[in-house]
Structure 1
Amino acid sequence: MDWDKLRLFYEVVDAGNFTRAGEKLGVNQSSVSRQISALEQDLKVPLFHRHPRGLILTEHGEVLFRAAQDIRLRLDETRQRLTETSERPAGDLRVTATVGIGGIWLARRITEFLDLYPDVRIQLILTNDELDLAMREADIAIRLRRPAQPDLIQRRLFTIQYHAYAANSYLERFGEPERIEDLDNHSLLSLGGDQPAFILELHRLSSLGRDPKDPRPSRLVVNDSLALRKAIENGAGIGMAPDYAMSGNPGVKQVLRDVEMPVLDSYLVYPEELRSVARVQVFRDFLVAKAQRWDF
């Protein structure tokens, strides 16, 4: 199979049409179309359904695209390994983490890592969705639950403690709850939206000590954990937050300190095939060292 045609096919799928693929590769649209037709003739199968709104892969096209994607990933890995040594880690590293951990705990430390390893370039992807590491949507993930896939290396980083917090300004106006029942008379802030169920449960003061079918009303529901913490800090009410996000903040106070609150273990996860990649090794060792020193 002609690699040049296969690469062109990959770029067409990625771009969505012949024109954009041609612009990326520096060739005209008709040349791209001719080469794709030649590839289809070589393989004796149609790869695309031509549609006025764009190109749609056929079943054969899907099979070929997965193969081309795998080849491209492996070529990228090989190129980066050839330019990298164990003494001087280099290359691109895609790191995914939840919005909370990535936007606060990891973001505070990433500059130090970049100073230590100036030839490593990091793309930080903040999302509560679990990206597919096997398909190389990211190289390394920090996750809030143990991964189920057997081909992923995992290392527990640290335990995250969650507690109820309120701004000092809010407590001065409305007083501090002493018992769970006191929450009935306070403004509660909750996390909502399209989040994993276990993340939503962590932030749900509305059902603490209550029948889940009869929760307290929340005065404010937001779909972003960072926005939730800003609302707490600004005195909108009482909400749940991880200790790493609130520690050292003189404007907020932990309330209901005698009430048992939820905890989560965080994990550093990456594919088995990246075990010996130098930039992955040094990033792993950097984060593990920070976690072991309880660097919060």
Structure 2
Amino acid sequence: MLTWNDHQLVLIIARTGTVAAAARALGVNETTISRRLAGAELAAGSTLFRRKERKLVPTAAGRAVMAAGEAMERALAASVTEIGGAPATVRISTVMTIIEHMIAPRLPEFVARHPGLVLELVGSNETASLARREADISIRLQRPERGKLVARRVGRMRFMLAAREGTEPANYIAYERDMDGLPEIVTIMARFGNATPVARIVSLPAICRAVQRGLGAAMLPDWMIASTPGVVAIDPPVHVERPLWLVVHEDMKERPAVRSAADWLCDTINMVRPGTGEMPHTP
């Protein structure tokens, strides 16, 4: 049975005309598009495109899938459009690092998949109150223990002890003082004999920059280490894995716009390849 993602893929390929253009529209590589198309054709039990003058043209079966996909798009647009015709907005709150490394790079795919639905990304170290509607969706590193909230685990963050390449720091960097109870900070404090940190910085990107300049060691996400020149993991056994939880208020979970955004976020975060922050080369 074809999924919504299959229908959306067929629509994008038909509208762009080539695998390469579809890959650019979705922000993935051509191999991923080819494999997804092969999976869709297997599910449909028929060839969906034929090649004509360097373009992919839908077959009769492909046109049928397109028609169904267009109907789904219209239904989605109708269900997520607010009164007065304004696009529906889903407000998502999480730490800035997750927005920058996991969500923002995939936004072209979301826009292509969900026309008429706008994501509002709010980066904050404070936990937004879903009950007070400060956010529609929250991505947290701790599962909520109270309130009418629904949580599902969508991924993880792996923190590793990092330093400037070629150095063995005698100092370390921590977050602000009221975050000393976080697992990664407890771990690095123990590693340095509970000494006082050389600096306290609330922002992970800022901590990473300080590490890059040789200020000291810090617990950083594995993808941040992999993507920052001159920063390396210096003691692999010293690491902490923290689960990521997608949380919505019980009263909001069936709202079509929130459900669409939540499903896409789950797929996106789950696909991040450990150690890089990049998407894998498989569908």
Find the residue that maps to 2:254 and give its secondary structure: coil
Q: Which amino acid counterpart does residue 158 of structure 1 have in structure 2?
A: G
Find the residue that maps to 2:76 and give its secondary structure: coil
User: What does residue range 207-218 of structure 1 map to in structure 2 within 5 Å?
Assistant: 207-209=189-191, 215-218=194-197
Q: How far does residue 159 in structure 1 lie from its aligned partner after superposition? A: 1.9
Are residues 1:251 and 2:230 paired?
yes
Q: CA separation in 2, counterparts of 1:254 and 1:210? A: 16
Distance change (3 Å), C-alpha of 1:205 and 1:190: farther
Q: How far does residue 118 in structure 1 lie from its aligned partner after superposition? A: 3.1
CA contact (8 A) 2:174 2:201 kept: yes
Deviations 1:27-84 (A, max 9, x none): xxxxxxxxxxxxxxxxxxxxxxxxxxxxxxxxxxxxxxxxxxxxxxxxxxxxxxxxx9
Distance change (3 Å), C-alpha of 1:86 and 1:242: farther
Structure 2 counterpart of 1:219: 198
Q: CA separation in 2, counterparts of 1:125 and 1:254? A: 29
Match of 1:280 among 258, 265, 277: 258
CA contact (8 A) 2:93 2:137 kept: yes
Q: CA separation in 2, counterparts of 1:280 and 1:158? A: 19
Query: Structure 2: where are the runs of 5+ without partners?
Result: 1-72, 82-87, 278-283
Q: CA separation in 2, counterparts of 1:204 and 1:239? A: 12
Q: CA separation in 2, counterparts of 1:263 and 1:156? A: 13
Structure 2 counterpart of 1:87: 76
TM-score normalised according to structure 1 size: 0.58
Query: Max radius of gyration: which structure?
Result: 1
CA contact (8 A) 1:167 1:253 kept: yes
Distance change (3 Å), C-alpha of 1:203 and 1:197: closer
CA contact (8 A) 2:175 2:200 kept: yes
Q: CA separation in 2, counterparts of 1:219 and 1:196? A: 16
Match of 2:98 among 97, 101, 105: 101
Q: CA separation in 1, counterparts of 2:175 and 2:142? A: 18
Structure 2 counterpart of 1:202: 184
Structure 1 counterpart of 2:133: 136
Q: CA separation in 1, counterparts of 2:108 and 2:185? A: 29
Structure 2 counterpart of 1:240: 219
Distance change (3 Å), C-alpha of 1:206 and 1:144: closer
CA contact (8 A) 1:190 1:205 kept: no
> More displaced, 110-119 or 130-139?
110-119
Q: What is the RMSD of the two structures over their aligned residues, measured on CA atoms?
A: 2.5
CA contact (8 A) 1:95 1:122 kept: yes
Q: CA separation in 1, counterparts of 2:202 and 2:269? A: 28
The percent of aligned pairs where both chains have the same amino acid is: 23
Distance change (3 Å), C-alpha of 1:198 and 1:265: farther
TM-score normalised according to structure 2 size: 0.61
Find the residue that maps to 1:159 and give its secondary structure: strand
Are residues 1:189 and 2:207 paired?
no
CA contact (8 A) 1:205 1:239 kept: no
Are residues 1:153 and 2:136 paired?
no
User: What does residue range 41-120 of structure 1 map to in structure 2 within 5 Å?
Assistant: 86-88=75-77, 89-90=80-81, 91-120=88-117
Distance change (3 Å), C-alpha of 1:218 and 1:198: closer
Q: Which amino acid counterpart does residue 128 of structure 2 have in structure 1?
A: L
Q: How far does residue 206 in structure 1 lie from its aligned partner after superposition? A: 5.3
Q: How far does residue 202 in structure 1 lie from its aligned partner after superposition? A: 1.6
Match of 2:247 among 269, 277, 282: 269
Find the residue that maps to 2:129 and give its secondary structure: coil
Q: CA separation in 2, counterparts of 1:222 and 1:99? A: 14
Q: How far does residue 131 in structure 1 lie from its aligned partner after superposition? A: 1.4
Find the residue that maps to 1:87 and give its secondary structure: helix
Query: Structure 1: where are the runs of 5+ without partners?
Result: 1-83, 177-182
Q: Which amino acid counterpart does residue 189 of structure 2 have in structure 1?
A: S
Q: Which amino acid counterpart does residue 87 of structure 1 have in structure 2?
A: L
CA contact (8 A) 1:206 1:218 kept: no
CA contact (8 A) 2:172 2:197 kept: yes
CA contact (8 A) 2:110 2:264 kept: yes
Distance change (3 Å), C-alpha of 1:206 and 1:286: closer
Distance change (3 Å), C-alpha of 1:218 and 1:124: same
